Amino acid sequence: MPQKRIYLYVPFKDKEKVKSLGAMWDEKEKKWFAPKSLDKNIFSQWLYPHQKKEFLFDEGEILTTFKSALENQGLIIDGLPVMDGKIHRVKTTTDRGREMSGAYSGFLDEYPAGFIQNFKTGIKENWKMPLENIRQNIVSYQAPSPKNFNNSISNNTKQDILELQKKTALKIEEEYNQANWAHSNHPYLKKKGFEENFYLKQDSRGSLLIPLKDENGKLWSVQRIFPNGDKIIGIIKTKEEKEQGIEYSAKKTGCFHIIGAKSLEHCKEFIIAEGFATAATIHKALNKPVIMGIDAGNLPKIVEILKDKFQNIPITLIADNDKKRELKGLSNVGVETVKDIKQKFSDIKVIIPKISDQEAEQGISDFNDIFLNKGLNEVKKQLNSIDFQNKLNTFKNPIKTISEKEIIR
């Protein structure tokens, strides 16, 4: 009868030590074990769980549990996550091209914990190893207060991220100020049906630079749109920066770009769309400033900021209609997001492009797609029909109109 393996109880901080002593890793069980050829007494301190206030998780258990939590929020993790306390950007299931809309950081000191963010869906949450897993691995411990633990992780993580974002913003601002104006015949602009550069700049690689600012006009980052249409946010590290392990983190949440106005103060109303091409199309159709919110996950924060700073300026949200996903039984992220915002702020107007099932199957999902397939007049027609219907509803309900006027007085 084959001899059973002698498994070891190895906290993460001791993994290099047991490895150097000759311990081996069982990939299937996700545990370290003592080889038969070695005296097990060498590993005596890891043979049994010790009765002390220390969390004795196996490395594999931590990493696989954290990976599952990341994937549940739509992040794509190749292999196992890196839990070194640094911020790591990854793709999400809805990313295209070079987009990397997921971010996470993991901590292995004392108590395994982490932070998860999906910029596309707006999900942002703390993670910690489930308490039931701890009880299976240690004899006695003092569980941290969930409230204090979450606050500590959240505050530390936010401060680290903010400092990194400030450093990144300075480098991006320098690059943006020195960049040349974009060519009006840039491949991406031509592909989207435009013959103007909308006062955009481009980097040394020929990618469009869309400045992303906060409500006070501070430049935090840029969205780079490559000639082939791929998009990323932030800095492209040089070979030297990669070799030196220099980290950057570009701020996106709450940032936006305005097409047709220098600042929010020059807008009489706030019209908000997701991507640049859609926002530019709406700008051409209405001849009004339009705010590019980047993606659906960023819209709730932008609206919250605008409502807080400009209480009396009307807001219109123009959604992407991800109907093709809906036909496949998946969530229509664009539509669901604006409807959720509408529930919170009832005075906001929402416009959803009218797209047939057949058009959805062809990949049409926003007003730029409609512009390319049916022309700008169709875009104007849909936008104007929404406004006309709203006015008609108001006319049919004069009692409501009088009531609203009285409130205004």
* Cα–Cα distance measured from residue 85 to residue 113, given in angstroms and rounded to the nearest whole number: 10
Distance CA 138, CA 161 (A): 33
Residues whose CB falls within 8 Å of the CB of residue 162, separated by 6 or more in sequence, listed in order: none
Amino acid found at 391: K
d(C-alpha 34, C-alpha 314), whole Å: 68
**DSSP strand pairing (257-259 vs 270-273):** unpaired
Element containing residue 259 per DSSP (H, E): strand 257-259
Please say whether the beta carbons of 196 and 184 come within 8 A.
yes
Q: Which residue has tokens 């990323």?
A: 232
Confidence (pLDDT) at 194:
96
215 phi/psi in degrees, rounded to 5: -65, -15
Answer yes or no: are the C-beta atoms of 334 and 369 closer than 8 Å. Answer: no
Burial of 229-238, coded b for 16+ CB within 10 Å and e otherwise, reads: eebbbbbeee
Q: CA-to-CA distance for 289 and 234, rounded, in angstroms?
A: 24
Residue whose token pair is 């990493």: 63
Helix (H, G, I), strand (E, B) or coil at 340: helix
| SS3 at position 232 | strand
Query: What integer pLDDT is reported at residue 125 of this predicted model?
Result: 83
- Which among 340, 294, 254 is positioned nearest to 95, based on CA atoms? 294
Total H helices, total E strands in the chain: 14, 17
Q: Which two tokens stand for residue 226?
A: 């490559």
- Three-state SS string over 153-183 comes to HHHHHHHHHHHHHHHHHHHHHHHHHHCEECC
What is d(CA 135, CA 141) in angstroms, rounded to the nearest whole number?
Answer: 8
Rounded Cα–Cα distance for residues 271 and 31 (Å):
55
Q: Residue-wise pLDDT tens for the chain (409 aa)?
A: 455 788 888 876 677 788 878 888 888 777 888 888 777 777 777 876 644 444 456 667 788 889 888 988 889 998 889 888 888 899 998 888 888 889 998 887 667 888 898 888 878 888 887 754 444 443 333 334 444 444 544 555 566 777 888 888 999 999 999 999 999 999 999 999 999 999 999 999 899 999 999 999 999 999 999 988 888 888 888 888 777 777 788 888 899 999 999 999 999 999 999 999 999 999 999 999 999 999 888 999 999 999 999 988 999 999 999 888 888 888 888 899 999 999 999 999 999 999 999 999 998 999 999 999 999 999 999 998 655 445 444 444 444 433 333 333 2
Pairwise CA distance, residues 227 & 186, whole Å: 7
CA-to-CA distance for 196 and 189, rounded, in angstroms? 8
Residue 285: CB atoms within 10 Å: 21
The gap from C-alpha 297 to its chain's centroid, in whole angstroms, comes to 7
The answer to whether 103 and 122 have CB atoms below 8 angstroms apart is no
> 382: how many CB neighbours lie within 10 A of its CB?
18
Cβ atoms of residues 10 and 18 within 8 Å = yes
Tokens, residue 350 = 């929402």
The residues with which 273 forms a beta bridge, in sequence order, are 292
Q: Look at residues 285, 275, 273 and name the one whose alpha carbon lies nearest to residue 371.
A: 285
**In angstroms, what is the C-alpha Rg of the chain?**
26
The answer to whether 42 touches 34, Cβ cutoff 8 Å, is yes
Contact (Cβ atoms closer than 8 angstroms) between residue 263 and residue 256? no
Nearest to 337 by CA among 380, 395, 394, 298: 298
Under 8 Å between Cβ of 184 and 197 = yes
